[in-house]
Homo-oligomer: A and B are copies of this chain.
Amino acid sequence: MGDDTTHSSQNTDPWRGRYADRAAGMVASEVRALFAVASRPEIVSLAGGMPAVGALPLEEVGDMMAGLVRDRGAEALQYGSAQGDASLRESITEVMAREGIDADPDDVIVTVGSQQALDLVTRIFVDPGDTVLTEAPTYVTALGVFAAYQARIEHVPMDEHGVVPEALDEHLTRLAAAGRRAKLFYTVPTFSNPAGVTLAAERRPRVLEICRRHGVLVLEDNPYGLLHLDAGPTRALRADDPEGVVYLGSFSKTLAPGLRVGWACAPAAVRAKLVLAAESAMLSHSAFAQLAVDRYLRTQPWDEQLKEFREMYRTRRDAMLDALSATMPPGVTWTRPAGGFFVWLTLPEGLDAKAMLPRAVGARVAYVPGTGFYADGSGTANMRLSYCFPPAERIRDGVRRLADVVGTELSLRDTFGRAPASAPDQGPQTPAPDLA
């Protein structure tokens, strides 16, 4: 299946038939070509998950980096340890403390974004055929990682309060009855990508209890936690179960993805294995990137910066929610995120978000269709809208254009019975990095 969706001309591939089985699970997203078109300036992209790094004080950041090379170049330009810089790991424990986590710097391993942490955790836990449970919809590139390790991905439903504990318990009980056990439960409990929902406080201890009872490791992916737009920070799952949770964090959304600094915080034995896996995967992460992030945290007004980011994203979120209320036809519903980057929209019966995308791009607005966020072909009626990157005015324009497209689809549906459907979904796919 991988072979006919990659870019290369497979007919002339001299290595065809020689790839590992897992390479078949690495599939390029079908909508990728469309997004190349969607990057044209006249199109409002509500598709990308790129943070607004233009808001950083570039002059100061540049000076800081120059100082870093001048003062500590021999270290910043050299190989570092595979676990990551000790001073940065200490700073990271302070970042996590904002969400109630009491961790030791030794519990932390620094990774190339939290994406690499996802890869490494899966690498040490998942054999081909092992089951990984995820809430759904969920982060598309996590599905890609699980698929690349040939996991059997199964979903647990979520509602506007996050994953449904009863459904999780039932699913795990059903697996046990069938003689199977999930290795991981993957969740983005706070300001989720793509659903834009947060696991309710009262559900959190229940989710932990259920996973503990079934012997399943919780993989808590939390890149958006500090981008809370209404209330203060949410208490992390890891804060209440240090042995049962591997927590993933990232500076991609709260500082800059271009340095690729993320981390995992894990129980000691798991952390030790992650370090060995990281050495094999890349020897060590960039000492420069790590020292730069640490110096930024220790010398620059990060809290002010976070406040600015939050204000900006709040304005953009409100612009999106207001425009949706003002323009969307009846029958369209969407989530109301209290933080993070994303709104999850559901089209009325009979409409197909993937089939509609070319027409939306024709109307100069882009989004990510919902099917990519499921491993089971669900999500045809859904789309992810992100408010992180375009300014508020562009967001309003984009939503207005989108509402027009939906309106036209609805009248097509009412005339012809239903709008044209898209091709059946192909399971986990790899989007371009800026769409993840």
Contact = CB atoms under 8 A, between A and B. Distances in A.
A351 interface: no
Contacts of A10: 269
B257 A116 contact: no
A267 to B, nearest CB: 7
A183 B17 CA distance: 11
B256 A77 contact: yes
A27 B279 CA distance: 11
Given A20-B125, A281-B281, A270 B15 contact: yes
A285 B260 contact: yes
A123 B272 CA distance: 22
A17 to B, nearest CB: 10
Contacts of A113: 282-283
Most B CB atoms within 10 A — which of A259, A279, A288, A436?
Answer: A279
Interface string A62-80: 1101111110011111111
Given A82-B432, A281-B115, A288-B258, A273 B59 contact: no
A73 B363 CA distance: 31
A31 interface: no
Contacts of A123: 20, 22-23, 148
B183 A18 contact: yes
A433 B61 contact: no
A192 interface: no
Contacts of A256: 77-78, 288
A24 to B, nearest CB: 10
Contacts of A433: 79-82, 279, 283-284
Contacts of A148: 123, 277, 280
Interface stretch (A50-58, A297-305, A324-332): A50-58
A207 interface: no
A112 B430 CA distance: 19
Nearest to A279: B430
A68 B62 contact: yes
B258 A79 contact: yes
B27 A276 contact: yes
Contacts of A271: 8
A258 B63 CA distance: 19
Contact of A66 (B6, B28, B66, B282): B66
B288 A119 contact: no
A26 interface: yes
A44 interface: no
A215 B217 CA distance: 42
Given A66-B66, A144-B279, A144-B280, 9 more contacts: A14-B267, A21-B127, A22-B124, A26-B124, A61-B77, A116-B282, A260-B282, A284-B433, A286-B286
Chain A to chain B: the 7 pairs with minimum beta-carbon distance, closest first: A62-B69, A13-B269, A77-B256, A8-B269, A66-B66, A58-B73, A77-B258
Interface of A: 2, 6-10, 12-16, 18-23, 26-28, 50-51, 53-54, 56, 58-59, 61-63, 65-70, 73-82, 112-113, 115-116, 119, 123-127, 130, 141, 144-145, 148-149, 183, 215, 217, 243-244, 252, 256-260, 267-273, 276-277, 279-289, 430-434, 436
29 contacts: A2-B273, A8-B272, A8-B273, A9-B269, A18-B217, A19-B124, A22-B123, A23-B123, A26-B273, A26-B277, A54-B74, A58-B69, A58-B70, A61-B77, A62-B65, A62-B68, A65-B65, A65-B66, A79-B433, A81-B433, A112-B282, A113-B282, A119-B280, A141-B283, A257-B283, A260-B286, A279-B432, A283-B433, A284-B433
